Amino acid sequence: MSILEAFVGLLIAASISLATAQQGNYPSDTVQTAEGVDLQLPPTAFGGGIEGAAVNARGDVFAVDYRAAGAGPGKAFGFFSETEGGTKSVLDLAANPIFNASTEGVANPPLISGARFLKDGRILIADANNSRVLSVKDARPSTFCANGAMLQPNDLALSVNIPEMIYLSGQNYTATTVAGQHGALWTCAGSTAIQFPPALLAQADVHRTNGIETSPCGKYLYLSSATNVAGNVTANRIYRFTIDTPTGNLVGQIPSLFHEFTGADAAIDIDGMRTDVNGNLYVTRNGQGKIVKLSPAGQPLMTINLPGMGGPSNLEFGGAEGKTLFAVGPCKANATIGCAAKFEGETVGKAFSLLQ
Ligand SMILES: *[C@@H]1O[C@H](CO)[C@@H](O)[C@H](O)[C@H]1NC(C)=O
Ligand SMILES: *[C@@H]1O[C@H](CO)[C@@H](O)[C@H](O)[C@H]1NC(C)=O
Ligand SMILES: *[C@@H]1O[C@H](CO)[C@@H](O)[C@H](O)[C@H]1NC(C)=O
Ligand SMILES: *[C@@H]1O[C@H](CO)[C@@H](O)[C@H](O)[C@H]1NC(C)=O
Ligand SMILES: *[C@@H]1O[C@H](CO)[C@@H](O)[C@H](O)[C@H]1NC(C)=O
C-alpha cells in the first residue's frame, strides 16, 4: 500500500472513532457513512468480471478474472493485494495467477466465480459454467463436487463446524423470475451435492440467489434473493436459514426474512456477503458502489462508499490482522476493467479468523 493510502485509511479510522466518541449512545437508526480507498490496480490485471474475493491465512486477498497472463474472461484466479507489498506484485507473472482454469476436457468453457480458501491451503472455486466446484491444490484442480442440476454455482460459503461442507448459491437471470425456480441453494457434503427443497424457497418467495455466507457461530446461513418482473428488479432481500450445527445440514424449513432493501434500494442487486467475528453482515450493493454493514439483527449500521467502483461484486476481510475489508468490481470509468478498494475496519473477518 502507498503511504497516501495508509494515511487516508488512518484518517477514516480516526474520523469514525471520533464520531462514535462524540455522539456516545447514538440512536440505533443512525447509519454511519465511511469512505473506502481505491487500490489503483493496474488496468491490465483484472477484467470487469472480477469477483470471488477470497482470503488466505496470511491475509492476502484474491479474485477471479485475472487477465494479465493472457487468460480469457473468468478463467484465472490471482491475488489483487498481498499483506506484504500490497498491489506491488500483481502483474508479476511468476507469482500470478495462482490458478488458470483449463478449457480442455470440460463441456463448457470454465467461468470461475466464488472462491474460498480451506485451512489446509486448498482453494475451492465455483465454476458457474459447468455446475461444479473445483478444489485447487498447488495450481492443480480436481472436482470437489458437481451436479448437472445445479444452477451455475455462483458463490459459496463454508460451514463453520463441519470440514468439507459448503453451501452454494446460483441464479438464472430471466426477465421475470419465479420463486424457487430461478434461484437455488445447494449443500455439498464432500462430493455429495444436495439441493435445498425448491418448494420451501418458493414458499419464502426466494428468487435469484447470489450472496451467501455463514454466521461466525455456524448456526445461520444468509442467502440473498433478487426478484425480476418484466425486466425490472423489484425486490432485494436477505434470508436467514438455520443450520443443524452438529451435522452442518440445513434444517428443512421456510427461511426467515433477515433484511429487505426497500424504496429505490429494492432495485439494486445484492452481490457478495461476508460476516465478521461479531456476526455483522457486510453486503455489496451492486450498482450503487457501496457496502452496507448490517448488525446480527439485520439493522443497517454503516454505509461504506467505494470510490472508483460502480458495482462491487464481492468482498472479503484480509490484511495482517484480518480487519481490512476489501471489495472488488468493475471500474466505474471502464466496466471492462477490474477495480478493488479497501476500508480499514475494526473487527476481524470470520473467514480470516477460521484460517488462523
Ligand atoms: C492461462 O491460459 C491461457 C489459455 O487458456 C494461456 O494463454 C496462458 O498462457 C495461461 N497463463 C498461465 C500463466 O498459465
Ligand atoms: C459458458 O458456456 C457456454 C456454452 O458452452 C459458452 O457459450 C460461453 O461462452 C461460456 N461462458 C464463458 C464466460 O466462457
Ligand atoms: C432459465 O430459465 C428459462 C426460463 O424459465 C429456461 O427456459 C431455461 O431453461 C433456464 N435455464 C436453466 C439453466 O435452468
Ligand atoms: C419497468 O421499469 C420501467 C422504467 O422504470 C417502467 O416504465 C415500467 O413500467 C416497469 N415495468 C414494470 C412491469 O414494472
Ligand atoms: C476500456 O478498457 C478497454 C481495455 O483496456 C479498452 O479497450 C477500451 O477502449 C476502454 N474503453 C473506454 C471507453 O475507455
Report the alpha-carbon distance of residue 91 to residue 78 in Å, rounded.
10
Q: Sheet harboring 269-275: ordered strands across?
A: 32-35, 300-305, 290-294, 281-286, 269-275
- DSSP string spanning 104-165? TTSSS---EEEEEE-TTS-EEEEETTTTEEEEEETTEEEEEEE-TTS-----EEE-SSSTTE
How far apart are the CA of 121 and the centre of ligand 2, in A? 29
The CA-atom distances, in angstroms, between 134 and each of 10, 75, 145, 163, 298 are 38, 12, 7, 16, 32
The model carries a pTM of 0.91
Protein residues with CB under 6 Å of any ligand 2 atom: 73-74, 108-109, 111, 129
C-alpha cell at 231: 425486466
As beta bridge partners, residue 76 has 100
CA-nearest residue, atom 10 of ligand 3:
172
CA-nearest residue, atom 14 of ligand 2:
109
Give the ligand with the smallest distance to the CA of 338: 5
DSSP summary character for residue 201: H
Residues 169 and 188: beta-carbon distance below 8 Å: no
CA-nearest residue, atom 3 of ligand 2:
108
How far apart are the CA of 93 and the centre of ligand 4, in A? 47
Residue ranges of domains in the chain: 3-355
Containing H/E element for 305? strand 300-305
Q: Answer whether CATH 2.60.40.1730 is correct for domain 3-355.
A: no
* Predicted pLDDT at 301: 97
Give the ligand with the smallest distance to the CA of 46: 5
* Predicted pLDDT at 29: 64
Specify the ligand 4 atom closest to the Cα of 229: 13
Give the ligand with the smallest distance to the CA of 152: 3
* Predicted pLDDT at 6: 34
- How buried is residue 203: exposed, middle or buried, by Cβ count under 10 Å (0-12/13-18/19+)? middle
C-alpha cell at 258: 433477515
pLDDT block averages, 10 residues each, the chain of length 356: 33 33 45 97 98 98 97 96 98 97 92 97 97 97 97 98 97 98 98 98 98 98 98 98 97 97 97 98 96 98 95 98 98 98 98 98
How far apart are the CA of 144 and the centre of ligand 2, in A? 21
Neighbours of 310 (CB within 10 A): 18
